[in-house]
């Protein structure tokens, strides 16, 4: 049976429509139809193709994941070699680059492009008469692997160029990458399934392209940015700007963060700005690429044996490195939690020498199978404490030793036990362990809590070790005389400290509750609790059920709070607080606006302008509700840098995501 004219026309129309909606969704990020409507179109096409399999074309949208696994990779020679570029790390080197180019080209000024250097995998996509013919990895620059079967599965890779007059040959080059959120979510999924995880999005993307089964690759959520052409016939391009415009017109995704400058000062300025902006991107970049805009000038400059002369990479300081775990030590926290810390062979990360990295808890050590002597991938991003992402099992020699958690707290010697979630060992001497007390004292004095300047790690240790403070409320019976017995404390320091302690008495109930190290009650919870029970007396009179009604509370938190205050130590604490004359009530602030009335807002990632409790307070002052987790009832998510699974979930549920700036604009009514 052959297809009717009407069916033939419908086949063509469906393919064109699906490709168009795919493009709007994945490249423009501006879909105009719902997922359901899209699926209907795809279903209709699939049904027609099932009826007439001989009419299936290679660029049909149904063919993205059509292929069966391949048995190995074919090597392909690049028509034009994929060269690399030199790198630098300082503005002075950028000036040298500019001076060199101006001299070689005998030119006063040059036009430059600055683009993010996507930390992904370089690939080439060749289109013959407009149809995707082959997709190849960079390989050694001369030859790469044919990974067409996997590249076809990436929705933002056009299967056909968006033009009625395709050039005979068109090679687009760019980078395959993965967003931080997709990486976090997928890695999480693999971890849960007990499968091997990747150290970073780049490795994940590279590994995905090397899969033999395209159906597996299709699940990896890879994306594309193109930034240049390779071999082309039938198109002439004069500048980079034109190249990008052509790529865009042909349906390729092009990074919108491209800037043009007519002098190197502009370039350098731009590089400086990226130092701060970098972490706000949803994908990782390891630097910027500075290129000459004019393609003829590029040709004139040519290349050395290693690099092209017309571009340079301005690399950021590495945030990730590989080093050896020399030992694992235990640090004891304010709840007695025994946090394993890796002592490392020193490694330079993000401009600092890193010698210690957190291993989080016993469960993580077990899940990542971290052993003493292992080579490890260590990550330090911005202000975040360095952590061990994974160990390189393939580099083991056999002399690595598994870590056994001590049965006794290394600080006080009391027995340790696993907590209820079986993730962490805890010291059982809650009241007497000096490490726990020191932790509680430091936490109590923090700026966001009781704000006692002068009590940091060192002072807290001195107060505890000297025996001047045996419980946190002992702070309020310190005298100048007592403080002067401490080493390195003079009259001035003692007086300032006492002033700070006195001032802390009036912080109010919310901050006090946040400061008391009540299990499961962090900074924002103290405020919420105090708003619901604006005096300590009312809080003490509340039942567990009353407490569970508090915004953001559930039975676990409610139990924690109730048990805390109704235990003998809790009762004693309350008596001490009263005796010391602390303010045990909360002035409930009137709302300042209603821009967020009826809205449920979730905050995630590292914010630059607000502390977490500040933004949550703002949300509430404007009539909104600050929630902890993303659901379909979330009105929007405010995402800072390094946002992970919450961002992924919001994107999956179609919950709008706002930057801090957009959030501010919303409050201002913009």
Q: Which is nearer to ligand IVH, 113 or 441 (CB)?
A: 113
- 306 in active site: no
Q: How far is CA 50 from the centre of its chain?
A: 43
Q: Which is nearer to ligand IVH, 110 or 472 (CB)?
A: 110
Please list the alpha-helical segments (H only) found in 156-294: 180-192, 201-209, 214-218, 240-249, 264-277
- Burial state string for 86-98 with b = 16 or more CB within 10 A and e = fewer than 16: eebeebeebeebb
How far apart (Å, rounded) are the C-alpha atoms in residues 376 and 272? 31
The string of DSSP codes covering 225-258 is EEEEEEEEES----BHHHHHHHHHHTT----S--
Looking up tokens 């064109």 gives 16
Task: Write down the least CB distance from residue 630 to ligand IVH, Å.
Answer: 31
* 3-class secondary structure per residue, 370-429: CEECCEEEEECCCCCCCEEEEECHHHCCCCCEECCCCCECCCCCCEEEECCCCCCEEECC
Among the listed residues 314, 311, 168, 173, the one whose alpha carbon sits nearest the alpha carbon of residue 253: 173
Q: Which is nearer to ligand IVH, 175 or 374 (CB)?
A: 175
Q: Which is nearer to ligand IVH, 283 or 565 (CB)?
A: 283
Q: Which is nearer to ligand IVH, 80 or 541 (CB)?
A: 80
Task: Write down the least CB distance from residue 134 to ligand IVH, Å.
Answer: 18
Catalytic residue of the set 51, 87, 117, 611: 117
Q: Are 464 and 431 in contact (CB under 8 A)?
A: no
Task: Write down the least CB distance from residue 313 to ligand IVH, Å.
Answer: 6
Task: Write down the least CB distance from residue 222 to ligand IVH, Å.
Answer: 14
Task: Write down the least CB distance from residue 235 to ligand IVH, Å.
Answer: 19
Task: Write down the least CB distance from residue 118 to ligand IVH, Å.
Answer: 4
Q: Would strands 657-658 and 636-639 be described as parallel, antiparallel, or unpaired?
A: parallel
Residue 613 burial by Cβ neighbours in a 10 Å radius (0-12, 13-18, 19+): buried
How far apart (Å, rounded) are the C-alpha atoms in residues 94 and 89? 8
Q: Which is nearer to ligand IVH, 94 or 666 (CB)?
A: 94
Q: Which is nearer to ligand IVH, 247 or 638 (CB)?
A: 247
Task: Write down the least CB distance from residue 173 to ligand IVH, Å.
Answer: 8
Task: Write down the least CB distance from residue 410 to ligand IVH, Å.
Answer: 46
| Consecutive H or E run containing 301 | helix 295-301
Task: Write down the least CB distance from residue 357 to ligand IVH, Å.
Answer: 28
C-alpha to C-alpha distances, 54 to 2, 45, 48, 51, 152, nearest whole angstrom: 10, 14, 11, 9, 20
Residue showing the smallest CB distance to ligand IVH in the complex: 122
Residue 602 backbone zone (phi > 0: left; psi -120 to 50: alpha; other: beta) = beta
Q: Are 250 and 129 in contact (CB under 8 A)?
A: no
Q: Which is nearer to ligand IVH, 117 or 334 (CB)?
A: 117
Task: Write down the least CB distance from residue 83 to ligand IVH, Å.
Answer: 4
Q: Are 264 and 98 in contact (CB under 8 A)?
A: yes
- Burial state string for 348-360 with b = 16 or more CB within 10 A and e = fewer than 16: ebbeeebeebbbb
C-alpha to C-alpha distances, 539 to 234, 268, 527, 566, nearest whole angstrom: 77, 57, 13, 11
The binding site for ligand IVH (CB under 6 A) comprises: 83-85, 115, 117-118, 122, 138, 175, 227-228, 289, 308, 311, 313
**Residue 150 DSSP SS3:** helix
How far apart (Å, rounded) are the C-alpha atoms in residues 581 and 497? 17
Q: What is the CA angle 591-617-506, rounded to 5?
A: 90
Give the orientation angle of helix 568-580 with respect to helix 555-566, to 10 degrees.
70
Task: Write down the least CB distance from residue 202 to ligand IVH, Å.
Answer: 10
Looking up tokens 């393939």 gives 394
Looking up tokens 């007695």 gives 336
Q: Which is nearer to ligand IVH, 115 or 523 (CB)?
A: 115
Structure tokens at 327: 């030992």
Neighbours of 517 (CB within 10 A): 22
Q: Which is nearer to ligand IVH, 140 or 563 (CB)?
A: 140
Residue 114: beta bridge partners? 259, 290
Looking up tokens 């821009």 gives 595
Q: Which is nearer to ligand IVH, 175 or 616 (CB)?
A: 175
Q: Which residues are catalytic?
A: 117
């Amino acid at each position: 049976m052959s297809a009717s004219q009407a069916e033939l026309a419908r086949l063509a129309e469906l393919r064109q429509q699906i490709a168009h909606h795919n493009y709007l969704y994945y490249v423009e990020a501006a879909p105009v139809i719902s997922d359901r409507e899209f699926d209907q179109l795809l279903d209709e096409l699939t049904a027609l193709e099932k009826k007439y399999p001989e009419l299936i074309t290679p660029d049909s949208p149904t063919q993205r994941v059509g292929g069966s696994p391949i048995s190995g990779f074919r090597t392909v020679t690049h028509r034009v070699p994929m060269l690399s570029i030199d790198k630098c790390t300082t503005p002075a080197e950028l000036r040298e680059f500019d001076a060199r180019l101006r001299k070689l080209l005998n030119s006063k000024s040059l036009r430059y492009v600055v683009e993010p250097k996507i930390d992904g995998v370089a690939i080439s996509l060749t289109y013959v008469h407009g149809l995707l013919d082959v997709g190849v990895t960079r390989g050694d620059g001369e030859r790469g692997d044919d990974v067409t079967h996997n590249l076809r599965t990436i929705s933002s890779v056009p299967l056909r160029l968006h033009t009625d007059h395709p050039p005979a040959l068109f090679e687009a080059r760019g980078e395959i990458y993965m967003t931080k959120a997709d990486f976090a979510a997928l890695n999480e999924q693999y971890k849960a399934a007990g499968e091997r995880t990747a150290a970073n999005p780049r490795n994940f993307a590279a590994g995905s392209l090397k899969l033999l089964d395209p159906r597996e690759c299709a699940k990896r959520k890879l994306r594309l940015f193109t930034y240049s052409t390779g071999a082309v016939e039938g198109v002439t391009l004069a500048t980079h700007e034109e190249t990008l415009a052509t790529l865009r017109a042909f349906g390729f995704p092009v990074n919108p963060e491209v800037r043009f400058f007519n002098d190197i000062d502009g370039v350098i300025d731009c590089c400086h700005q990226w130092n701060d902006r970098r972490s706000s991107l949803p994908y990782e970049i390891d630097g910027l690429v500075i290129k000459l805009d004019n393609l003829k000038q590029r040709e004139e400059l040519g290349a050395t044996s290693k690099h092209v002369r017309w571009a340079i990479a301005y690399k950021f300081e590495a945030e990730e490195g590989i080093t050896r775990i020399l030992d694992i030590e235990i640090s004891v926290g304010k709840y007695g939690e025994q946090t394993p810390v890796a002592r490392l062979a020193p490694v330079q990360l993000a401009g600092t020498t890193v010698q210690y990295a957190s291993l989080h808890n016993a469960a993580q050590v077990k899940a990542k199978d971290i052993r003493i002597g292992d080579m490890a991938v260590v990550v330090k991003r911005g202000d975040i404490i360095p952590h061990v992402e994974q160990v390189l099992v393939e580099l083991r020699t056999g002399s690595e030793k598994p870590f056994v958690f001590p049965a006794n707290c290394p600080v006080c010697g009391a027995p340790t036990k696993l907590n209820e979630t079986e993730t962490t060992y805890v010291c059982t001497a809650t009241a007497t362990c000096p490490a726990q007390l020191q932790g509680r004292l430091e936490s109590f004095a923090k700026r966001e809590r009781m704000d006692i300047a002068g009590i940091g790690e060192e002072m807290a240790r001195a107060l505890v070790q000297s025996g001047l403070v045996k419980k946190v409320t002992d702070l309020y019976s310190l005298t100048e005389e007592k403080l002067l017995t401490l080493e390195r404390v003079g009259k001035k320091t003692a007086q300032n400290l006492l002033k700070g302690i006195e001032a802390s008495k009036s912080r109010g109930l919310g901050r006090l509750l946040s400061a008391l190290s009540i299990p499961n009650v962090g900074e924002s919870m103290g405020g919420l609790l105090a708003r619901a029970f604006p005096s300590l007396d009312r809080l003490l009179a509340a039942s567990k059920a009353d407490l569970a009604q508090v915004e953001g509370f559930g039975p676990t938190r409610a139990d924690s709070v109730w048990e805390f205050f109704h235990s003998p130590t809790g009762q004693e604490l309350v008596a001490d607080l009263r005796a010391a004359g602390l303010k045990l009530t909360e002035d409930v602030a009137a709302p300042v606006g209603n821009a967020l009335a009826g809205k449920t807002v979730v905050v995630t990632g590292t914010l630059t302008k607000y502390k977490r409790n500040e933004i949550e307070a703002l949300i509430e002052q404007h009539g909104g509700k600050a929630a902890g987790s993303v659901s379909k009832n979330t009105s929007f998510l405010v995402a800072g840098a390094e946002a992970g699974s919450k961002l992924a979930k919001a994107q999956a549920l179609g919950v709008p995501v706002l930057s801090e700036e957009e959030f501010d604009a919303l409050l201002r009514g913009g």
